[in-house]
């Protein structure tokens, strides 16, 4: 605690990577303030305050100073405003090994960050612009069902409770007094941004003493305050839970008798069907609940997926696609606890039966808690044991996420400071009295039932209302008393439901295989061991297995990664659709086999991708062999059951239909995605040679052709069999707490299930994807005629969003730079550097200054097949796509001027930021596994002479941006001449002028436009212009003229 009463948590990662390590480390900081939109005096004030802090302070008045500084130091910053809290966080990436001093990057970041809270400017000249940004953010949310439903929930709550407040705010609410509310911001700061109401968390690479010195120099300048804690009241009328309704008053609960006992229906924008049952419950941080946390075991049982559970029964009936349980809303005053179900069309038709089963399930859990408290106590102990084990072997996480959550956790006074990190993983023995009191809240008169169903669009019975801020369409009625009475004492109709058995898969063997190889390594030796890449353990005609036993992280966990590479998956849209359905059926089916194992910390994922199937199995080593064998065995037996048809396997047929319906819904909803995402998808359709169109998939599952030639279980079996037992190639990685013997056992499983029944995949059969070479203007004239000579962007694709409620337009401008083979390490490095600098420049100009929209970004773009470039994205409700294009083109000219005027040392500083990000060291086993696996994946479609993974690729790429010094080598690790700052600037400008400048002969640029319905007139006026494409057929026409980029990777080491 500082002298000014600011409480801070300091974490030192000193010596985490060893003294001789040149890896970069992420250092981070976060400030948490116990004030959010519940404290607004104007709707959106807390949110507006958060935005304004980023726009300059008295010491650093430049609005771009803070984020510009972080960018140069390989970092970033962001913040969020919640109901009762606001959190600010930042990171820098540094190479710093002096424990006695804080790194220069973190010291500067903390100085700038502290000024947010010491002397913010609240510049009136910037306030108007930022109000537009708030308004743009609000308008983005209007087409998001999650935001619409959240605001709907607020609108039907008690309007005297702060939960009802409009948290985001918009231009109208914040300008209701005719001018930006600067005075209100200052009052807000005086009331809430005080040291006693703030908590700070910092992770740094220096010693704790050095970090403390830095914090005292920077945050020590804040004024002293000693306000009483804000949220520690007691409700004298609450018998069991003292915190319930204690903060905002028992006379005005957010959800009282007027709001409960209601049945509500909502019409969503997307095609979706869900049913939510929510109960009014105490806040989960109530001191009585915190001791034994009965809500955890209750949520665990409600959402269990074992045989006999609600999930399994509804799933087998073909009613369910997913089920979650727990608290959907949790504040200091109350929570909403319950179940949320995503239903199939059949399930929605039978929603009354679904609700009956929900209350039967709740009644069964209540009965078990009352009659068999010792059994529930065992469930409770299982969860506690899993939590303790997970904490004991928890690896380092993301520094930023840690700081953000830790700064909030510092407000928890139930845990002593030394218990802060473990407090979320430990709790007392099961308390049947407290559990009974919580379960009593799960009753019909204390609940709300909300049905969200796109099928209600056709229902014109009854009167529909519209929530005024976000536009959710809804209607409300009381739950009939007959239903209330039925659900109060439900009778089990068929005895299908029963509570789960105890978990047999909780691990007990935590021994480490590396201990069998000799004594524990020193820190320096462990770091050297981390840098050793996996070795090729097995190489056959169609199987490569890489292995590395961990000696660095020393956790009893193993990760297995596997790709089955086959041309059959993406052969046709039908093959891809059936493969995706098979994947969904498989994951659904496997749940009954491995659900308990997943609860106990063993996880798996199976996904279908264009090159084949990808598998990931990870967790405690003891259970991994069981999990792998179960997965691979079931994959093949499932194919046989699918082939036997629905008469023999009706439950499997129900899963097949559920999977098909879910895939159809997901595919159709993609059309309603946010405009900038749609623009990105459309650019892929043009820039990738062979990519199936959305409608290709939809037509197979719905409509005339789907009825004539329906997708069947038997067809699904045939496609899955051709993918998994036909011509294939497999790459695998065994890494972690697994020795060579264990890795060979994994190899045996793979060979038995996949290799033996298949044949090797020839090099000519590999699924290869190529990038299209966009035309230069000269080439485009030959395609579209002389009408495009005056256009700086010769090729444009445009479409109109289907949703009437979508107010946003979007443009994605993609500038191709070349192929991997052409660019090489040096070119990719320069491309990364330019995009790194472009992001801040574009954001500052197009979003902050011009206020074109809330979403603005510039980034390196790589598409399948090895084509590289840079994309600039803007989404706007105030400017049309044509206007956005113009502004992006003007920004590119401005950016070129900025680069020209930058001091070479400033560009060198930006390059060091990129180097630091690239060289960011792994902080846990999972990261090391992912890093190694990514390099193996890169070889999947390569010629057999280029299949050696470049495990040092990132280091080689970073070295291209390490500048010449007296001590440096004359050339980079790739043999290129090392540059000084002047040479680097010259190369950056040359690169820009060659491929990005508007007058560059080799400029290859594409704009993908998405028009809102409000901009349809402009769409119609431009759709027939030369070079403007507006259909999939137009795309295919253009691609008839285009060549492809070479596919050879830039990192290839020819064998």
Percent of the chain predicted with pLDDT > 90: 87
Residue 230, burial from CB neighbour count under 10 angstroms (0-12, 13-18, 19+): middle
The stretch 36-42 carries a mean pLDDT of 98
pLDDT of 397 above 90: no
Higher pLDDT: 40 or 803? It is: 40
Stated as kind and residue range, the H or E segment containing 267 is strand 262-267
Higher pLDDT: 19 or 998? It is: 998
Cα 411 from Cα 399, distance rounded (Å)? 19
- pLDDT range class, residue 1052, cuts 50, 70, 90: confident
- pLDDT range class, residue 415, cuts 50, 70, 90: confident
- pLDDT range class, residue 375, cuts 50, 70, 90: very high
Cα 990 from Cα 986, distance rounded (Å)? 6
Least confident of 315-319, 376-380, 773-777: 315-319
**Whole-number pLDDT of residue 320:** 94
Cα 93 from Cα 919, distance rounded (Å)? 9
CB atoms within 10 A of CB 999: 8
Cα 940 from Cα 616, distance rounded (Å)? 16
Nearest to 750 by CA among 564, 622, 874: 564
CA distances to 652, 836, 863 from 819, in Å: 46, 19, 10
**Whole-number pLDDT of residue 423:** 66
Residue where the block lists tokens 């490095």:
829
Nearest to 75 by CA among 113, 49, 101, 102: 113
pLDDT of 2 above 90: yes
Cα 951 from Cα 275, distance rounded (Å)? 48
pLDDT of 21 above 70: no
* Residue range 559-615, pLDDT digits in tens: 999 999 999 999 999 999 999 999 999 999 998 778 998 999 999 999 999 999 999
Higher pLDDT: 183 or 592? It is: 183
CB atoms within 10 A of CB 234: 12
* Residue range 296-353, pLDDT digits in tens: 999 999 999 999 999 999 999 999 999 999 999 999 999 999 999 999 999 999 999 9
Tokens at residue 692, please? 């199936």
What length does the chain have?
1055
**Whole-number pLDDT of residue 677:** 96
Contact call for residues 824 and 991 (beta carbons, < 8 A): no
pLDDT of 1053 above 70: no
Tokens at residue 54, please? 């980023």
The stretch 770-799 carries a mean pLDDT of 96
The stretch 821-825 carries a mean pLDDT of 94
**Whole-number pLDDT of residue 973:** 94
Stated as kind and residue range, the H or E segment containing 565 is strand 557-565
Strand 198-204's sheet: what is its strand order?
A: 7-12, 198-204, 25-33, 86-94, 76-81
pLDDT of 697 above 90: yes
* Residue range 70-96, pLDDT digits in tens: 999 999 999 999 999 999 999 999 988
**Whole-number pLDDT of residue 120:** 97
pLDDT of 837 above 90: yes
pLDDT of 45 above 90: yes
Question: Does residue 66 sit in helix, strand or coil?
Answer: helix
The stretch 710-737 carries a mean pLDDT of 97
Higher pLDDT: 444 or 492? It is: 444
**Whole-number pLDDT of residue 1003:** 97
Stated as kind and residue range, the H or E segment containing 544 is strand 543-549
* Residue range 639-667, pLDDT digits in tens: 999 999 999 999 999 999 999 999 999 99
The stretch 240-259 carries a mean pLDDT of 95
- pLDDT range class, residue 491, cuts 50, 70, 90: confident
**Whole-number pLDDT of residue 1054:** 52
pLDDT of 1 above 80: yes
CB atoms within 10 A of CB 790: 8
- pLDDT range class, residue 967, cuts 50, 70, 90: confident
**Whole-number pLDDT of residue 231:** 87
* Residue range 262-310, pLDDT digits in tens: 999 999 999 999 999 999 999 999 999 999 999 999 999 999 999 999 9
What end-to-end distance do the CA atoms of the chain give, in Å?
A: 60
pTM as predicted? 0.92
Tokens at residue 22, please? 């040149």
- The set of residues, in sequence order, having a beta carbon less than 8 Å from that of 101 and lying 6+ positions away, is 206, 210
Whether the CA torsion 948, 954, 960, 963 is positive or negative: it is negative
């Amino acid at each position: 605690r500082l002298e000014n009463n600011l409480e801070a948590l300091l974490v030192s990662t000193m010596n985490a990577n060893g003294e001789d390590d040149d890896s970069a480390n992420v250092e981070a900081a976060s400030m948490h303030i116990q004030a959010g939109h519940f404290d607004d005096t104007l709707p959106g004030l807390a949110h507006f305050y958060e935005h304004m802090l980023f726009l300059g302070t008295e010491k650093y008045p430049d609005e771009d100073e803070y984020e510009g500084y972080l960018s140069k130091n390989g970092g970033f910053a962001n913040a969020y405003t919640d109901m009762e809290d606001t959190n600010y966080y930042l990171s820098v990436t540094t190479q710093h090994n002096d424990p006695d001093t804080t790194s220069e990057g973190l010291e500067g970041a903390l100085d700038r960050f502290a000024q947010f809270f010491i002397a913010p400017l609240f510049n009136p000249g910037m306030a108007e612009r930022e109000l537009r940004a708030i308004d743009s953010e609000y308008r983005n949310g209007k087409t998001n069902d999650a935001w619409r439903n959240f605001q709907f929930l607020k609108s039907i709550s008690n309007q005297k409770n702060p939960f009802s407040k409009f948290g985001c705010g918009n231009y109208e609410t914040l300008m209701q007094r005719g001018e930006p509310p600067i005075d209100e911001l200052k009052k807000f700061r005086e009331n809430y941004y005080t040291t006693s109401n703030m908590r700070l968390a910092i992770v740094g690479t220096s010693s704790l003493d050095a970090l403390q010195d830095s914090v005292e120099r920077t945050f020590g300048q804040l004024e002293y305050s000693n306000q009483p804690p804000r949220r520690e009241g007691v409700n004298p009328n609450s018998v069991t839970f003292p915190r319930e309704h204690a903060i905002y008053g028992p006379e005005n609960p957010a959800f009282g008798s007027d709001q409960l006992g209601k049945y509500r229906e909502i019409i969503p924008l997307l095609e979706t069907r869900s049913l939510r049952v929510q109960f009014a419950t105490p806040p989960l941080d109530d001191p009585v609940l915190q001791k034994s946390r009965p809500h955890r075991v209750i949520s665990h049982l409600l959402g269990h997926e074992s045989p006999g559970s609600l999930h399994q029964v509804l799933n087998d009936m073909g009613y369910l696609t997913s089920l979650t349980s727990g608290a959907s809303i949790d504040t200091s005053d109350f929570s909403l606890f319950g179940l949320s179900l995503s239903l199939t069309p059949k399930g929605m038709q039978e929603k009354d039966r679904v609700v009956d089963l929900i209350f039967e399930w709740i009644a069964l859990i209540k009965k078990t808690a009352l009659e068999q408290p010792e059994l529930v106590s065992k469930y409770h102990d299982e969860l506690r044991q899993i939590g303790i084990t997970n904490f004991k072997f928890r690896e380092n996480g993301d520094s930023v996420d840690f700081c953000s959550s830790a700064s909030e956790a510092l407000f928890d006074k139930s845990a002593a400071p030394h218990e802060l990190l473990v407090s979320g993983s430990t709790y007392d023995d099961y308390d049947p009295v407290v559990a009974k009191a919580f379960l009593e809240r799960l009753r019909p008169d204390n609940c709300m039932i909300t049905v969200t169903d796109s099928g209600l669009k056709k229902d014109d019975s009854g009167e529909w209302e519209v929530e005024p801020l976000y536009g959710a369409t809804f209607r409300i009625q009381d739950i009939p008393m007959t239903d209330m009475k039925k659900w109060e004492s439900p009778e089990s109709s068929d005895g299908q439901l029963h509570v789960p058995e105890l978990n047999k898969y909780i691990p007990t063997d935590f021994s480490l295989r590396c201990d069998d190889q000799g004594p524990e390594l020193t820190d320096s030796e462990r770091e050297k061991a981390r840098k050793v890449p996996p070795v090729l353990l097995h190489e056959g005609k169609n199987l490569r297995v890489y292995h590395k036993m961990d000696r660095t992280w020393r956790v009893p966990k193993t990760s297995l990664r596997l790709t089955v590479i086959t041309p059959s998956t993406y052969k046709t849209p039908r093959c891809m659709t059936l493969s995706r359905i098979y994947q969904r059926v498989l994951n659904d089916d496997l749940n009954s086999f491995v659900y308990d194992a997943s609860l106990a910390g063993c996880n798996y994922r199976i996904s279908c991708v264009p090159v084949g199937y990808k598998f990931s199995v990870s967790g405690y080593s003891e259970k991994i062999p069981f999990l792998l064998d179960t997965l691979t065995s079931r994959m093949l037996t499932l194919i046989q059951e699918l082939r036997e048809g629905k008469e023999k396997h009706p439950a499997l047929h129900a899963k097949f239909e559920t999977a098909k319906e879910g895939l159809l819904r997901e595919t159709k909803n993609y059309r309603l995605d946010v405009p900038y995402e749609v623009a990105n998808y459309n650019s892929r359709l043009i820039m990738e040679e062979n990519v199936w169109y959305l409608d290709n998939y939809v037509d197979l599952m719905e409509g005339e052709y789907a009825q004539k030639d329906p997708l069947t279980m038997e067809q699904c079996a045939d496609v899955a069999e051709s993918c998994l037992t036909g011509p294939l190639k497999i790459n695998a990685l065994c890494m972690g707490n697994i020795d060579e013997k264990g890795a060979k056992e994994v190899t045996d499983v793979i060979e038995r299930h996949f290799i033996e029944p298949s044949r090797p995949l020839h090099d000519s059969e590999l699924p290869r994807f190529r990038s299209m070479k966009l035309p230069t203007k000269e080439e485009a004239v030959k395609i579209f005629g002389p009408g495009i000579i005056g256009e700086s962007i010769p090729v444009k694709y445009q479409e109109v969003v289907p949703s009437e409620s979508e107010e946003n337009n979007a443009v994605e401008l993609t500038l191709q730079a070349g192929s991997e083979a052409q660019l090489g390490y040096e070119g990719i490095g320069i491309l990364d550097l330019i995009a790194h600098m472009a992001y801040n420049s574009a954001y500052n100009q197009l979003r902050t200054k011009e206020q074109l929209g809330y979403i603005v970004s510039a980034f390196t773009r790589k598409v399948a097949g090895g084509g590289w470039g840079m994309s600039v994205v803007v989404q706007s409700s105030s400017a049309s796509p044509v206007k956005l294009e113009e502004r992006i083109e003007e920004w590119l000219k401005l950016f070129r001027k900025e680069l020209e005027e930058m001091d070479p040392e400033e560009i060198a500083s930006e390059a060091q930021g990129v180097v630091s990000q690239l060289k960011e060291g792994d902080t846990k086993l999972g990261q090391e596994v992912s890093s190694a696996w990514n390099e193996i994946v890169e070889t999947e479609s390569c010629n057999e002479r280029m299949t050696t993974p470049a495990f040092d690729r990132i280091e080689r790429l970073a070295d291209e941006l390490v500048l010449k010094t007296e001590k440096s080598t004359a050339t980079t690790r790739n043999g290129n001449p090392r540059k000084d700052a002047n040479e680097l600037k010259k190369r950056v400008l040359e690169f820009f002028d060659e491929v990005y400048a508007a007058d560059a002969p080799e400029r290859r640029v594409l704009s993908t436009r998405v028009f809102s319905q409000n901009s349809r007139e402009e769409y119609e006026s431009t759709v027939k212009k030369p070079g403007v494409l507006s259909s999939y057929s137009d795309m295919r026409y253009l691609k008839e003229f285009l060549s492809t980029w070479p596919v050879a990777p830039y990192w290839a080491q020819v064998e």
